[in-house]
Amino acid sequence: MLSVVAIVYMVRSVLFYSSSFKVAVLVGFVLALSPLEMAWPRYLQTETLALAGTLWVFSELLISLHKSEIRIFSLSIALIATTFIRLDAILLVAPIAVTAFIIYKPFQAIKKGLIIAILLSLPWGAWLVRNHMVGMTNILPLPMTSPNNAASPNGYLKWLWTWTTHEYQRPGTLFPVTRFVYGAIKVDPIIFSTSHEETKVKMLLKELKQYTGKPFPKYIDNNFNKLALDRINNFPLDVYLVNPLKRMWSLWSNVYNSFGWPTELPSEVSAQERLDVARGGIREKFELALKYPAIAIGKFFVSAWRVILLGLFVFLLVYIFIKKTDQQYKHLMLLSLSFIIARSVFSSWGNYVETRYTLMQMPIIEVTIIVALYCIIKNRDRGR
């Protein structure tokens, strides 16, 4: 229901922004029927609500651009609601900031931004104070959720952060830890930087099996932390630059994600097998597709839509620099690009390499493409 309301509100905002009923209706149809977004209500996850919140915030930004005035109160309410749904929605401050600097001179833009920041801090400050008063040891969310609110193995997670670059490296290393099923941990065999690290990790994982059903032991976690520090000290360029860039590429280039549709590979296909197929050539992919044809066809159509959208977005982005375009198009493209960059940098740096973390950007990309193509066609008609 909230998703439908958000789409209708976006349609209304696009109508104001573009002054075109046809464009607004087309935006509504695409958002309602997009294969990237329509399947997520199947899950008891925050994706659908986060999509609705993202559309709400961007709708406020479009109206603000149309009126050449930031709608401080309504925009703040939208941002507050969306950040309470998903903490990473705080990255919506990037397009908000861009909008402020488009509309106002720098000093005024900063002033408006500070007011929004104060309004945002009031409910969040109250929530953090409440968490402290009820005796929560961690007033912010934990890095991972474990049974009985057990402490997160920060050393182990830090070690994973130093080398993980692909979505399918995570299930074998992270999911078993969240369930205390340590014997199921599978580490990608090609990631070890030295033979010493490989030997040490195998020894620690063998010892860890003895604690199945119990919280991650502190002394083993400390040993993984030492391994993480060794990697950071010995390969700082890989850890701080190369790996984040690889994660960013993985986020946007992975064409095997189902985006909420029931086209996931069966559980007998291990995470390592999925990773090998993703890394492999056409032959490996074709063999798996023949084994699971219905799944392959479903994934193909969803991924094809995503690839087409990304290709069109890049084309339109390049078009800005080689052609004189409508200012509306430039402004909306800047808003979308700032959101894409903010989320991509955050996800790649934080090791959030699951492709679903690009989901919030997809409806914004769809809206941007439709409005941009309309502006280009309108400008061409005027030039005739």
* Distance of alpha carbon 26 from alpha carbon 32, whole angstroms: 10
Average pLDDT over residues 16-33: 92
Question: pLDDT confidence of 283, banded at 50, 70, 90?
Answer: confident
Is the domain of 355 the same as that of 286? no
- pLDDT reported for residue 28: 95
* Distance of alpha carbon 185 from alpha carbon 353, whole angstroms: 18
Is the domain of 160 the same as that of 50? no
* Distance of alpha carbon 129 from alpha carbon 115, whole angstroms: 21
The answer to whether the pTM exceeds 0.85 is yes
Is the domain of 289 the same as that of 372? no
Is the domain of 252 the same as that of 301? no
**pLDDT(383) > 60:** no
Boundary of a domain, candidates 294, 320, 338 = 294
Q: How many CB atoms lie within 10 A of CB 31?
A: 25
Average pLDDT over residues 2-30: 92
Query: What is the domain extent for residue 362?
Result: 2-140+295-383
The 10s digit of each residue's pLDDT in 213-224 is 999 999 999 999
Is the domain of 204 the same as that of 186? yes
- pLDDT reported for residue 108: 94
**pLDDT(134) > 60:** yes
Q: What percent of the chain has pLDDT over 70?
A: 95
Higher pLDDT pick, 243 / 273: 243
* Distance of alpha carbon 347 from alpha carbon 358, whole angstroms: 9
Boundary of a domain, candidates 294, 309, 338 = 294
Is the domain of 152 the same as that of 117? no
Average pLDDT over residues 259-285: 76
Question: pLDDT confidence of 384, banded at 50, 70, 90?
Answer: low
Is the domain of 183 the same as that of 46? no
Question: pLDDT confidence of 129, banded at 50, 70, 90?
Answer: confident
Average pLDDT over residues 134-138: 72
The 10s digit of each residue's pLDDT in 225-252 is 999 999 999 999 999 999 999 999 999 9
Boundary of a domain, candidates 276, 294, 312 = 294
Is the domain of 220 the same as that of 185? yes
Is the domain of 273 the same as that of 303? no
Is the domain of 108 the same as that of 37? yes
Average pLDDT over residues 313-322: 86
The 10s digit of each residue's pLDDT in 153-175 is 999 999 999 999 988 888 889 88
- pLDDT reported for residue 381: 62
Cα 321 from chain centroid?
A: 27
Is the domain of 163 the same as that of 287? yes
Is the domain of 189 the same as that of 90? no
Q: What is the number of domains present in the chain?
A: 2
Average pLDDT over residues 198-225: 94
